[in-house]
Amino acid sequence: MSINVQNITPVIGAEVSGIDLTQIDEVTAASLRRLLADRGVLVFRDQQLDHAAHKRAAACFGTGELHYHPLATASGSADPAVLTVKATANSTYAAGDGWHTDVSCDPSPIRASLLYMHEMPESGGGDTVFASMTEAYALLSEPVQELIGNLRAVHDGALPWRQAYGKEPAAGTEYNRTAHPMVIAHPDNGKPLLWVNRGFTTKIQGVTALESRALLEMLFQHIESTPRIQCRVRWDKHTLVIWDNIATQHHAVWDYFPHTRHAERVSVIGGELQAA
């Protein structure tokens, strides 16, 4: 395949054309893995994917092992590897409407997520904003880099799913809760990147509650209020977006109520995170 790439911004994101994601060979998969590590977010238009093709594409990234989301069944999906992401006029919330990294509470977090759009709001809207955590870290002052480089923070699945969505875990289980380094090394290029997010990160270990709240809030605001590290993706029906879940955060903007936005996400697991 002849792949054409158009950057969305100089820092993050690329529109990719000239590829049919149902026909990925190993050479093409290797090229996409390199491109994803470089750009963080890849956008593919006019793709025709059923669940099997969607999962085959996801398996080209990370360990190749698909992630089973704890809310997949509750979302209405019959396949635990396919998470339904849908908001309608009856929704009290929209999944992803806030800055986060997918399921960062897991011991081995998601390496890449692939979201495929089935239905877009007739009123427009429903964009997703992404941010580069490599650039977010690079823009911090050296004293702050040094401080957070020695710290670990707790990521708790109960924060978004129980407290925000009111969803309880399956009977006899609890949501994952894991402490990760606040600065990790990208598994492909070794670059240091910031690994805290408002969606899942609850506290920093080894400091007071006041220090933890203040430092986390400063980092969250740094990510959310720095447009130079961000790109905005406009969706169409049959668009698929792949994002590097280790090196980016995202916010799915819920600006289309009461209209419907319907997509499905398949994610692939990565390895344990390593401190930078």
CA distance 211 to 78: 44
CA distance 72 to 17: 30
One of 100, 111, 251, 261 is an active-site residue; which one? Answer: 100
Nearest residue to 183 via CA among 99, 276, 105:
276
Longest dimension (CA), the chain: 54
The runs of H, that is alpha helices, within the chain are 26-39, 51-58, 133-138, 142-148, 158, 209-224
Interior CA angle at 98 toward 95 and 99, to 5°?
Answer: 120
One of 102, 106, 156, 244 is an active-site residue; which one? Answer: 102
CA distance 127 to 241: 12
Residue 128 near residue 8, CB atoms below 8 Å: no
- Can 102 be counted among the known catalytic residues? yes
One of 39, 67, 186, 250 is an active-site residue; which one? Answer: 250
- Can 100 be counted among the known catalytic residues? yes
Residue 175 near residue 157, CB atoms below 8 Å: yes
DSSP state of 77: -
CA distance 89 to 75: 16
- Can 180 be counted among the known catalytic residues? no
* Active-site annotation, residues: 100, 102, 250, 265
